[in-house]
Amino acid sequence: MTVEGEASVEVSERTATTLEERWSQFFRWGPYVLLGIATVLAGATASELMSGPETVAAGGLVAAVLALQLGWHTRRPPASPPPAAVDGGRAVVLVPGAPGPGSAAYFALRTALAFALTWLNPFFAVFACVGYFDAVQLLPPRPVFVRTGLLAVALTMAGSQSGGLPPASALNWVAFGGLFLLNASLAVGLAHLDAKEAEKAAERSATIAQLARTNARLEQALAENATLQAQLVLQAREAGVADERRRLAAEIHDTLAQGLTGIIAQLQAADTAAPGQARVHHQRAAALARHSLGEARRSVQDLSPVALEHDTLPEALGKTVDAWAERTGISGRFTATGTPHPLHEEVAATLLRIAQEALANAERHSGATRAGITLSYMGDEVVLDIRDDGRGFDPSAPSARGSHGGFGLDGMRARAERLAGEVGIESAAGEGTAVSVRVPLARHD
């Protein structure tokens, strides 16, 4: 619920409380005040409207009414006012009060006394009109009882308004009949409207209560969603960290580890080679060391391969194949097909790393004498094929990291999947290996 809504509810609560207090005061003291006014008016007109015995009888009836009022308000709490505050889930609405035990008998006796007083002096109708206000609260909540009580009050009021009871002439009788119909219609009609308003108030109360419960559930759901969102953000952060670690591990494997492997191979070859040939191996080892150092520095900066710093992907792949073939003595060939397009840096770097890993695997494990790489631009995707004529293997066998910590085919697949690509393997014992990498064509902006 908004701040404005809560403020409106608080104002409604204070207004309802004020109305309840005022109605409570009216039903507590109103009968006494109206009886006092009626008694003063009747006393002022007693010499003209009442005989001596009637005046005495009126005094006795007034005393009886006072005793009835005092007894009712002493033994019973004041009747509930018509608008009573009912909590409807943070909001307060107004609904009629409920009658208490003995209230119907009290109403009937008071109405009879008021009728008798009005029979003696029409001004006592001032007191009788209080029945219009509390009939709904004092009588049982059924139309027949409420209407009967209101008609009794209307009868008393019509007698007073027509000149007193009983009517003294035919004209008074006609006036009495007309005034009775008018008072009865107004009383019953207003009671009916009050009942309808009470039903609407009850419906509003139920609606507001339902809205309050819905609002509470919504606030609870929002709190749960906030907690879930925080958990998802934490999980995403952890997943990102783990993915970045894997990517860095693969990057190091494809650069430093392969460079160090090549340096070791050249140094080992130099130990057993003739002096002139050893110098060649030492030069190759130094070149590999310088290249690996460049790769390490580049990795620290942005993990982009040095080979792509000044060359396109086809050019970098061609130089990589040539350098690999010269270093390993294995025949290597690079071919590009289709119309070359500038690729996104991440796509180019991924394909170059996969090619380097595939060539490294062919060197270490396949015993191949020939290897070839083909880069194909095919509409909305780029395809990289690496083939060798080595001993082959079973692609369905579980893959595992080698003794040197290599990532192999799993690393290739992970790299391709980061670009929404895929890696296909075709190999069999004695038939060589073919690796095919397909990634969407993401152009360089």
In which element (H, E) is residue 7 found?
helix 3-44
Q: Write down the pLDDT at residue 423.
A: 92
Low-confidence ranges of the chain (pLDDT < 70): 1-17, 19, 76-100, 198, 233-234, 236-238, 240-245, 247-248, 250-255, 295-306, 398-407, 443-445
Q: Write down the pLDDT at residue 297.
A: 63
What is the per-residue DSSP string for 283-340?
HHHHHHHHHHHHHHHHHHHT---GGGTTS-HHHHHHHHHHHHHHHH--EEEEEEES--
d(CA 42, CA 252): 112
- Of 31, 132, 137, nearest to 83 by C-alpha is 137
- Of 148, 159, 82, 157, nearest to 126 by C-alpha is 157
* Total residues found in the chain within this entry: 445
Q: Write down the pLDDT at residue 374.
A: 95
d(CA 334, CA 363): 16
Task: Kindly state the tokens that stand for 236.
Answer: 């995403």
Please state the CATH superfamily assignment of the domain spanning residues 311-445 in this structure.
Answer: Histidine kinase-like ATPase, C-terminal domain (3.30.565.10)
Q: Write down the pLDDT at residue 82.
A: 45
Note the pLDDT tens digit of each residue in 387-407: 999 888 888 776 654 433 345
* Beta strands in 84-131, from DSSP E residues, in sequence order: 84-87, 92-95
Sequence-ordered list of residues with C-beta below 8 angstroms from that of 409, at least 6 positions apart, any chain: 399, 423, 425, 435
Tokens 């609407």 belong to residue? 200
Q: Where are the domains of the chain?
A: 3-221, 311-445
Helices (H), ranges, 121-169: 125-128, 131-138, 143-161
